A and B are shown apart, each in its own frame.
Chain A
Amino acid sequence: MNTPSSSLMETVIDLAGVSRRFDARLALDGVTLAVPRGCVFGLVGENGAGKTTLIKHVLGLLRPESGSVRVFGRDPVGDPVGVLSRVGYLSELRDLPAWMRVEELLRYSRAFYPKWDDAYAESLRAQFGLDPQARIQHLSRGESAKAGLVIALAHRPELLLLDEPSSGLDPVVRRDILEAIIRTVAEEGRTVFFSSHLLDEVERVSDQVAMMVEGRMVLAGPLEEIKLTHHQLTLRFDQPQAHAPVIAGALSVVGAGQEWTVLCNGTRPELVEAAGKLGARVVAERHPSLDEIFVARAAKKVPAAARVPTHS
């Protein structure tokens, strides 16, 4: 596991060794994470990896069994009002009250946040094309997400927590509006922490990324640093190889005969040296995408017999 790079910047979210179990299933397994102020932090992972559980711990909706959670230096369970007044949250569930009208939702939410910006709320509502008289129950899933986004943003929170924000949004809104909002929030010095399945979106927007697999944090750090420390090398052997070559730091090895493609974690000279020791030459190399890194890391837990090569 890569621990988050130590930073002198102020951390907004600080999780230390957080574990949480639901019946027999370990949903979070000693998760440690620090999210610095002013960054866009993307959390990726498969279904059931523990992303939503982690976000609920940050909100104080779940109490850690072990470890500690601090948001703005406060315990979200002990001081929910102090924490939640500075947080904007978009739930994955789209759980806005079905009986409310959009206008009522805005008026109701406004009452709880002294920093609520009416003009901003109205501009977001207009930008999303939400009818103020429409009832939530008559909105589509995407429209419901937009309504949730308006109330999460309109009080200009110091921390914006988005759980699968893209779910249900059409590509135009996702790419042109959501991403613009996220960047704007970050440029104002505020923090965005979001989970997503859409790795290309995470890659486009995030400054820092964390990856969860089965409740464990397997990777976390600045996006550029992660990409620079992962390499995809194509190795050519003089003789056909009966078995996949074993290289330290390899996350996935696919190929056959003389040519094998290896996705690995480490510095380039170390990897080239390791390949040379096996009698192979590096004939091609590139930095893999976040998607490729994620697939390789997630596939490591899958039994070898069941693994399907992603590259030929």
Chain B
Amino acid sequence: MFAPALAILWEIWRKNRWALLAIFAAIPFWAVLNRALCGPLQPRGDEALALVWPVLVFLIDVVPMWLSFLVLAVIFCYTEPDPQRGHARFPARLFVLPVRTRVLVTCPILYGVAALVAVALAWEKLVLASLPPVEWMPLHFLPLTYVGSAMVLLQATVWILPGFPASRLIVLGTLLFGLTWLAMWPLAHAGAGDWSAGQAAAWQSRSTAAMAVISALAYLAALFAVERDRRGVERSWAAWRRRLGRFRDVLPRRRQPFASGAGAQLWFEWRRGGGLLPLAVGFFMALVLGPIAWIVQEVNPASSIVIDAESTATMLGIVLALPLVLAFFVGKRNAERELTQTPFHFIRPVAVGELVLRKLEMAAWSTALAWGLVLVVTPLWLAWWCDTSLLHRGWRALATWYAPPTRHALAPLMLIAALALTWRWMVVSLYLGLWGRAKCFLWSVAVSVVGAWLLLIFTASLAHPGKLMKHELDILPWLGAGLAGKALLAGWAFRSAHRRGLMTARAVWTYLGIWLGVTLCLVTLALILFAPTSASKAVVILGSTLVFPLARIGLAPLALAAHRHR
């Protein structure tokens, strides 16, 4: 028993040792950092800092904690890709070992739960506990039963539904949402003072017991599924899947030959991942506008089916941010998929520039569809279920701030900015994926996550009006240097791509025209929105100019050519 258990532990360690070491090292580092920073940063009579303090604590301590949980979840999912079936599943190579299935299943579950609980406990005791109290902090002292149950649910879902990558995400999202609600509901009520101490303790006990039962059921389900997988028993939903496949066969789909290689390539790119962003936006939108809006709303005694005004505004903000946030992840996923190009992708007689163009076009269609979904569904939701009085007040306030020509330009400019920024996130990492170097890609992901995190901290620290002005002027040279670097790199990239025959002159000028048009819109919008409160228009203009990708689009054909002809 112990030898296989140790072997599985060693395998997980050997494969992920650098990530695990980074997490183990990060916690003491954060503990020391907090102790060093707590004194100077703690708000002492400074109202502006008192306001921003919770946000800073969240960004500095809570975000890294959740990131470490995410990394652990990925490590202990314990799956391997099945190249023939094209999805990740419980490692089938283990099925030929003379080891009982319950050992194969129990070990990764135990290790995962132990690692996550240990890391959660370490964050709580060493890092969060050393901070001055923040109102919502108790919510991040996560119940250990919740942490362990979340890991078991994650592993069970991933192993039970190997052939359903999209359904897996939806099921997992729903289960984790339910589990989080179960764990946090008593905590939130206890924190808000709704219950007496006795009531709170009783509810917490019930919640803990429910989570323990859920974990046990998830474990048994995982064991059952892996055992059947090992015996080669066709899962009952495999038959359903076949039926679904037959149903899909009778649905109208393209059966005509493609008019051109470009059309065929666009179809290929779309089928590889074009629908992911609209699907993800649709799913999360349904979750936000449905159950989440229902849970967070203040009950309106006049009409129990109307979402109250504040919740409406909050949910609307979340829904409008969804395509942007999800495009970041979908873009990374699409770029990551480009790392593993096989000869099949490269032996079509298609020029590199054409291949890149079709990927960019697919991202544009994906973006348009995702926003189309938001723009069609949200007004219907607002009209039928929501109290829109707060939104109307906001619109009237906007009308007093801006004169008619500016006010009329705002909506189209915002739509262009939303589309442009979503598309940006979809394609901004493409060149790294197309380059085909996994390590560089992983580093770039790490750098962009850390960069985004530092940027958020920096933005939050600009709370005080005096400090804001000072910081804004401080970053002006950096923005100027960034723009100069971008222009130089873009010039080199487009020139090289054109000289090597990877991009036609027409394609280069077309993209430069698009970049210029979109950037003008972004600058105009930024000047309308931020110039009145900003210390320097130059900062607004330069900052907006850096947003839409230029050099990275020029690098994409060069990267793909390097990958195609290694």
Query: Which A residues have a C-beta under 8 Å from some C-beta of B?
Result: 56, 59-63, 77, 80-85, 87, 89, 91, 93, 95-100, 107-113, 133, 137
Beta-carbon contacts of B526-566 to A below 8 Å, as 1s and 0s?
A: 00000000000000000000000000000000000000111
- Tell me if B85 counts as interface (CB < 8 A to partner A): yes
Contact: B565 with A60, CB < 8 Å? yes
Residue in A59, A93, A96, A107 whose beta carbon sits within 8 Å of that of B258 in the complex:
A107
Chain A residues within an 8 Å CB radius of B349: 80-85, 112-113
Chain A residues within an 8 Å CB radius of B136: none
- Nearest Cβ on chain B to A28's Cβ, whole angstroms: 13
- Tell me if B394 counts as interface (CB < 8 A to partner A): no
* Count, A-B residue pairs, CB within 8 A: 85
Residue in B257, B271, B342 whose beta carbon sits within 8 Å of that of A95 in the complex:
B342
Known A-B contacts A111-B264, A112-B261; the reply to A137 vs B346 at CB < 8 A is no
Contact: A61 with B348, CB < 8 Å? no
Contact: B347 with A84, CB < 8 Å? yes
- Nearest Cβ on chain B to A18's Cβ, whole angstroms: 14
Known A-B contacts A81-B349, A112-B349, A133-B249; the reply to A98 vs B85 at CB < 8 A is yes
Query: Which B residues have a C-beta under 8 Å from some C-beta of A?
Result: 83-86, 249, 255, 257-261, 263-265, 267-268, 271-272, 342-344, 346-352, 564-566
Known A-B contacts A111-B257, A111-B258; the reply to A84 vs B348 at CB < 8 A is yes
Known A-B contacts A99-B271, A110-B257; the reply to A59 vs B264 at CB < 8 A is no
Contact: A110 with B258, CB < 8 Å? yes
Chain A residues within an 8 Å CB radius of B86: 98-99, 137
Q: Which 9 A-B pairs have the closest CB atoms?
A: A111-B264, A98-B86, A95-B342, A85-B349, A111-B258, A84-B349, A77-B565, A112-B261, A95-B344
Chain A residues within an 8 Å CB radius of B263: 111
Residue in A93, A100, A111, A112 whose beta carbon sits within 8 Å of that of B342 in the complex:
A93
Chain B residues within an 8 Å CB radius of A109: 348
Contact: A80 with B351, CB < 8 Å? yes
Q: Complex formed: what's the CA distance from A34 to B454 in Å? A: 58
Contact: A81 with B350, CB < 8 Å? yes
Q: Complex formed: what's the CA distance from A107 to B565 in Å? A: 26
Q: List 18 A-B contacts (CB under 8 A).
A: A56-B343, A61-B347, A61-B565, A81-B349, A81-B350, A82-B349, A84-B348, A89-B347, A91-B347, A96-B344, A98-B86, A99-B86, A99-B272, A107-B255, A107-B264, A111-B257, A112-B261, A113-B349
- In this complex, the member of B258, B263, B351, B565 whose beta carbon has the largest number of chain A beta carbons within 10 angstroms is B565
Chain B residues within an 8 Å CB radius of A113: 349
Chain B residues within an 8 Å CB radius of A108: 258, 264, 267-268
Contact: B565 with A62, CB < 8 Å? yes
Q: Complex formed: what's the CA distance from A93 to B340 in Å? A: 13
SS class, residues of chain A in contact with chain B: loop
Q: Complex formed: what's the CA distance from A85 to B348 in Å? A: 7
Chain B residues within an 8 Å CB radius of A63: 565-566
In addition to A61-B566, A108-B267, 19 A-B residue pairs with Cβ atoms within 8 Å of each other are A56-B343, A59-B346, A80-B351, A80-B352, A84-B349, A91-B343, A95-B342, A95-B343, A98-B83, A107-B258, A108-B268, A110-B264, A111-B258, A111-B259, A111-B260, A111-B261, A112-B261, A112-B264, A112-B349
Chain A residues within an 8 Å CB radius of B342: 91, 93, 95
- Nearest Cβ on chain B to A159's Cβ, whole angstroms: 12
Q: Complex formed: what's the CA distance from A98 to B348 in Å? A: 17
- Nearest Cβ on chain B to A63's Cβ, whole angstroms: 5
Q: Complex formed: what's the CA distance from A110 to B267 in Å? A: 13
Chain A residues within an 8 Å CB radius of B352: 80
Q: Complex formed: what's the CA distance from A96 to B342 in Å? A: 9
Q: Complex formed: what's the CA distance from A292 to B264 in Å? A: 48
- In this complex, the member of A98, A109, A111 whose beta carbon has the largest number of chain B beta carbons within 10 angstroms is A111
Contact: B564 with A61, CB < 8 Å? yes
- Nearest Cβ on chain A to B24's Cβ, whole angstroms: 31
- Nearest Cβ on chain A to B268's Cβ, whole angstroms: 6
- Nearest Cβ on chain B to A169's Cβ, whole angstroms: 17
Contact: B264 with A91, CB < 8 Å? no
Chain A residues within an 8 Å CB radius of B249: 133
Contact: A93 with B343, CB < 8 Å? yes
Q: Complex formed: what's the CA distance from A97 to B264 in Å? A: 14
- In this complex, the member of B84, B260, B271 whose beta carbon has the largest number of chain A beta carbons within 10 angstroms is B84
- Nearest Cβ on chain B to A116's Cβ, whole angstroms: 9
Chain A residues within an 8 Å CB radius of B267: 108
Q: Complex formed: what's the CA distance from A84 to B565 in Å? A: 13
- Nearest Cβ on chain A to B162's Cβ, whole angstroms: 12
Q: Complex formed: what's the CA distance from A203 to B267 in Å? A: 43
Chain A residue at minimum C-beta to C-beta distance from B340 = A95
- Nearest Cβ on chain A to B77's Cβ, whole angstroms: 21
- In this complex, the member of B347, B349, B350 whose beta carbon has the largest number of chain A beta carbons within 10 angstroms is B347
- Nearest Cβ on chain A to B321's Cβ, whole angstroms: 31
Chain B residues within an 8 Å CB radius of A112: 261, 264, 348-350
Q: Complex formed: what's the CA distance from A151 to B350 in Å? A: 16
Chain A residues within an 8 Å CB radius of B260: 111
- Nearest Cβ on chain A to B437's Cβ, whole angstroms: 14
Chain B residues within an 8 Å CB radius of A137: 84-86
- Nearest Cβ on chain B to A240's Cβ, whole angstroms: 51
- Nearest Cβ on chain B to A245's Cβ, whole angstroms: 48
Contact: A61 with B344, CB < 8 Å? no
Chain A residue at minimum C-beta to C-beta distance from B258 = A111
- Nearest Cβ on chain B to A115's Cβ, whole angstroms: 11
- Nearest Cβ on chain A to B251's Cβ, whole angstroms: 13
Q: Complex formed: what's the CA distance from A99 to B342 in Å? A: 15
- Nearest Cβ on chain B to A139's Cβ, whole angstroms: 9
Q: Complex formed: what's the CA distance from A81 to B346 in Å? A: 10
Known A-B contacts A77-B565, A80-B351, A133-B249; the reply to A59 vs B343 at CB < 8 A is yes
- Nearest Cβ on chain B to A95's Cβ, whole angstroms: 4
Contact: A87 with B347, CB < 8 Å? yes
Residue in B257, B268, B347, B350 whose beta carbon sits within 8 Å of that of A59 in the complex:
B347
- Nearest Cβ on chain A to B287's Cβ, whole angstroms: 26
- Nearest Cβ on chain A to B473's Cβ, whole angstroms: 49
- Nearest Cβ on chain A to B351's Cβ, whole angstroms: 5
- In this complex, the member of B85, B268, B344 whose beta carbon has the largest number of chain A beta carbons within 10 angstroms is B344
Chain A residue at minimum C-beta to C-beta distance from B342 = A95
Q: Complex formed: what's the CA distance from A112 to B344 in Å? A: 13
- Nearest Cβ on chain B to A154's Cβ, whole angstroms: 13
Chain A residues within an 8 Å CB radius of B351: 80-81
Contact: B271 with A80, CB < 8 Å? no
Q: Complex formed: what's the CA distance from A100 to B257 in Å? A: 15
Chain B residue at minimum C-beta to C-beta distance from A133 = B249
Chain A residues within an 8 Å CB radius of B264: 107-108, 110-112
Chain B residues within an 8 Å CB radius of A81: 349-351
- Nearest Cβ on chain B to A119's Cβ, whole angstroms: 14
Chain A residues within an 8 Å CB radius of B344: 91, 95-97
